[in-house]
Structure formats: C-alpha cells, structure tokens
Amino acid sequence: MKNFASKLMLLVALPGTVLILGIWLSVQFSLSQPIVLSENLDLNTQGYLLWSIDRGSSLSQVNDELERQGIISHPKIINAYAILMGRTTIQAGTYRLQSSDTVKSLLDKFNHGDVVRYSITFPEGWSFKQWIDHLAKISKFSEIGSKSAEEILTLANIDEDHPEGWLFPDTYNYNDSDSVYDILHQAYLQMQRTLDQAWQVRSENLPYQTPYEALIMASIIEKETGLAEERSAIAGVFVRRLQRGMRLQTDPTVIYGMGDSYNGNIRRRDLQQITPYNTYRINGLPPTPIAMPGAAAIDAALNPESGSSLYFVARGDGSHQFSDTIDDHRRAVRKYQINKRLKNYQSMPISESSP
C-alpha cells in the first residue's frame, strides 16, 4: 500500500516537474541566442555597437529598449530570469555590443559593469590651467573650459581655496557615466593620500610647519628638476637655504607669478618686480604650489639629500652643477651659462621636459 501511494505521488508530481524543466530549457535557449546587430544601427567601423545606459536605468527598461531596436527578443523572459537569479543590478556607462554576444553574455556585461573605459594622462609638473586645457579638448568635457577655478573646485567637491598642487599627476580611467569633476575629485583624493603618507615618514628638522608647505616645496622641486636622480639633491639645496634664512631665488616661481605675461624669457625687471611668487624678492616659500608635483618630488621635499651645497646652475644637458659657496657658483654660472653655453642648451632632457 505504501509503495502504491509513493508511485501515485510521483505520477502526480511528474507533470509539474516536466513543465518546470520545459520552462527552464526555454529560458536557457532564449539566453543562448545571439544578439542581432542590423545594418540600420549606428555600428562602429569595426562592426560593434556602443550602447549607453544612463544612471538610474533598470534592467527591464534597458531590455525593452534593446527589443525596440531589434537587438534582442523576449525581454520579459530575460527579466524573469534575472529576478530569479538575483541579477537585476546593472551599472551605468557605455557598453560594446558585438555580433558574437549572446543575450546571456550581454546580461553578464551589464551585471559586471563591463563598460567601455577611456584613459587620460596628466604628467608631473603641469599647472592647474594645463589640466583644464587638456580636459577641455575632450568633447565630453569641453564645458569645463568655460568654468572659473572656483566653480570647478565646487563642482569637483575639492575643499581647497586654491587648486594648484592639489591634483595628483597620473593616468586616470573613466567611462561615459563619469563626469570631468569625478576625474578631478579622484585626482584630489589621490594627492591627499600621497601627501599624508609621505608626511608620516618625513625627515626631522624640516623647515615646514604643515604638509601644505611641503607640497609647495615639492612643486618647486618638480619644476626645477631635469633629471630624476637630482630631485633629492635640489630639495637639499632649497631646504638648507630656508633653514639659513636665504631666499630660494628660483626661476619657476617667478614664471608662475608672471602668468600669461611670460613669453619664454625672464628679464632683469621681472626678477626685480615684487610679487607673491618672486622668490628673488620674498623670503620663504610662495603662498601656493606652482604645479602638480608627483610622488617622487613630494618624497624629495620631505626627505632631502644631506650635504653642504647652497647653489646650483643648469649645465645645459638637463643636469645641474652644485656649489657650496657663492664664488664657486659664480664660476659655474660663467662656465655653463656664459662662456660655454651649448648651442643645444636645454634645462631638461628632451624626453623628460615638462609640457
């Protein structure tokens, strides 16, 4: 009797099992179907389609639009499968749809946020203006070129009074759902982290009261250095000058203070003009950084090379001659700047010159 009852229950359950299995196989068949990229779509020259998903869009909205474009069919089946499997979360951005994609691989892309990514690089030593000009050349970000520095800081959520120095030079990746201000905020956070970490392991007896002063020094080192291996030596000269109450007397600060009036040459009257950035006329550091320093320049500012040199002059091949006394420095100036100035004189190696 018991065996009969068991067999009877199995026979009753079998049709339901078969029905569920049939539905599951139908779903799997739908998911395995290739997407359709017809010629009337705006296909790339390489045959793929760029498909953008706006922030806040749901998977059902996206699938309905894909069906309207003839790219997929049976969107309700796909939506039901996604709900059942807990895969309804999608990420905004632009996706690359290829003829080799199936409905399932497309869902995988949406779930994982496999968006098309771009990159933009900012070299060490660029100014804030150069960053903005570089960004404005990208059509998606062109609006930033018409914004004031104050507006940009606000929109990028950068809580600083002056933007110079606060953006870390690096290569940043972004997608179509990112704004230009997202990139700037990311660069700001990276500079904060880099500066904070370097400040924690700084040398003793430095002439800086705050990390910001170290950032100012790092920006000067960045602009003065032609060879990477000279950063800490140049930092040592500047630190010793500050410690002795000597003026920094560095041309890059003068150039920065001249702004748009700088035409490639510093004249005697430029060195004599009193501005907040003319370190030939002011004591100590200028009020702000003059560029965006990299990690190596920050490290050099906080861990300068010990020694006795107080002066340096460019040799014309990217390197510098360091001197302990003013007399030795004057002789070096005559040798490298006056008597034997090279025809191909340059303050930095071509491969490492600042833009």
Instruction: Give me the numbers of helices (H) and strands (E) for the chain, helices first please.
Output: 13, 6
pLDDT at res. 45: 61
Are 242 and 303 part of one and the same domain?
Answer: yes
CA distance 302 to 171: 24
Tens digits of per-residue pLDDT, 291-313?
999 999 999 999 999 999 999 99
**Four-residue CA torsion sign, 133, 137, 140, 143:** positive
Domain residues for the domain of 42 are 27-112
Tens digits of per-residue pLDDT, 137-194?
999 999 999 999 999 999 999 999 999 999 999 999 998 888 999 999 999 999 999 9
Tens digits of per-residue pLDDT, 334-343?
888 776 554 4
Distances in whole angstroms, Cα of residue 55 to Cα of each of 59, 89, 90, 94, 352: 11, 12, 9, 11, 41
Whether 207 is covered by a domain: the verdict is: no
- Nearest Cα residue to 163 out of 182, 141, 148, 178: 148
Buried b (16+ CB within 10 A) or exposed e, 88-107: bebbbbebebbeebebebbb
Are 90 and 132 part of one and the same domain?
Answer: no
Whether 31 is covered by a domain: the verdict is: yes
Are 259 and 152 part of one and the same domain?
Answer: no
pLDDT at res. 25: 63
Are 44 and 83 part of one and the same domain?
Answer: yes
pLDDT at res. 46: 73
For 216, residues 6+ apart whose C-beta sits below 8 A from its C-beta are 165, 285, 286, 288, 289, 290
What CATH number has the domain bearing residue 52?
3.30.1490.480
Are 287 and 168 part of one and the same domain?
Answer: no
- Domain's final residue, options 112, 131, 153: 112
**Count of structural domains within the chain:** 3
Contact, 214 vs 289, CB < 8 A? no
Whether 208 is covered by a domain: the verdict is: no
pLDDT at res. 8: 42
Q: Is the pTM of this model over 0.85?
A: no
pLDDT at res. 203: 96
Are 280 and 306 part of one and the same domain?
Answer: yes
- Domain's final residue, options 112, 129, 156: 112
* Helices 231-243 + 211-224 axis angle, to 10: 130
- Domain's final residue, options 64, 97, 112: 112
Strand partners, 52: 94
- Nearest Cα residue to 56 out of 81, 79, 89: 89
Buried b (16+ CB within 10 A) or exposed e, 26-63: ebeebbeeebebeeeeeeeeeebbebebeeeeebeebb
Whether 104 is covered by a domain: the verdict is: yes
pLDDT at res. 23: 60
Are 232 and 326 part of one and the same domain?
Answer: yes
pLDDT at res. 24: 60
Show the low-confidence residues of the chain (pLDDT under 50). 1, 4-5, 7-8, 10-12, 342-355
Are 91 and 132 part of one and the same domain?
Answer: no
